[in-house]
């Protein structure tokens, strides 16, 4: 088996910049949500997906796919949200193994209260630091990565 080629200095700089930026942004977003709202970032994402879904519900397996995580990871987060009264589960009619996650009214209110602070930290940590051209390049570049890796998941 042949070794893959080592990263050249430009590739290594891009990789390290990506890692550092993603860690810094991720930590800031996680910290803000935990401190101000008592939510993890994955929990916030679940609330967003459910709020945007028809009837505010999504099948758990579909939610795992949308969040690019495992079914057990979604089950864990839904359990936490359910204990807080923000989400409930319901069985899928005609499918004994299928379960829907459903956003409660309390969950929708929590999302509405959390959104302004979340938006503020996302803007301050990423969006407002880049020019419109840089944002477009970032969107295009990460879109290409997502398309390339999407079928591998």
The pLDDT, as a whole number, for residue 153 is 54
CA distance 129 to 122: 10
What domains appear along the chain, each with residue ranges and CATH number? Answer: 24-143 (1.10.10.10)
pTM for this prediction: 0.90
Q: Which of 92, 91, 50 is nearest to 74 (CA)?
A: 50
Q: What percent of the chain has pLDDT over 70?
A: 98
Which stretch of DSSP H or E encloses residue 122?
A: helix 105-125
Q: Which of 116, 107, 93 is nearest to 56 (CA)?
A: 107
pLDDT under 50: residue ranges of the chain: none
The average confidence (pLDDT) of the chain is 95
Q: Which of 5, 90, 82, 95 is nearest to 55 (CA)?
A: 90
Ramachandran angles phi, psi of 50, nearest 5°: -65, -40
């Amino acid at each position: 088996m042949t070794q893959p080629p080592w990263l050249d200095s430009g590739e290594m700089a891009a990789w390290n910049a990506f890692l550092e930026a993603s860690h810094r942004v991720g930590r800031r977003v996680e910290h803000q949500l935990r401190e101000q709202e008592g939510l993890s970032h994955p929990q916030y994402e679940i609330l967003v997906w459910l709020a945007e879904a028809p009837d505010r519900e999504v099948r758990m397996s579909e939610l795992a796919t949308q969040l690019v995580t495992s079914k057990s990871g979604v089950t864990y987060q839904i359990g936490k949200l359910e204990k807080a009264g923000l989400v409930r589960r319901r069985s899928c009619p005609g499918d004994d193994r299928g379960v829907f996650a459903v956003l409660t009214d309390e969950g929708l209110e929590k999302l509405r209260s959390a959104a302004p602070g979340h938006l503020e930290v996302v803007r301050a940590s990423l969006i407002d630091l880049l020019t419109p051209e840089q944002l477009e390049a970032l969107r295009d570049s990460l879109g290409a990565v997502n398309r390339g890796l999407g079928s591998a998941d």
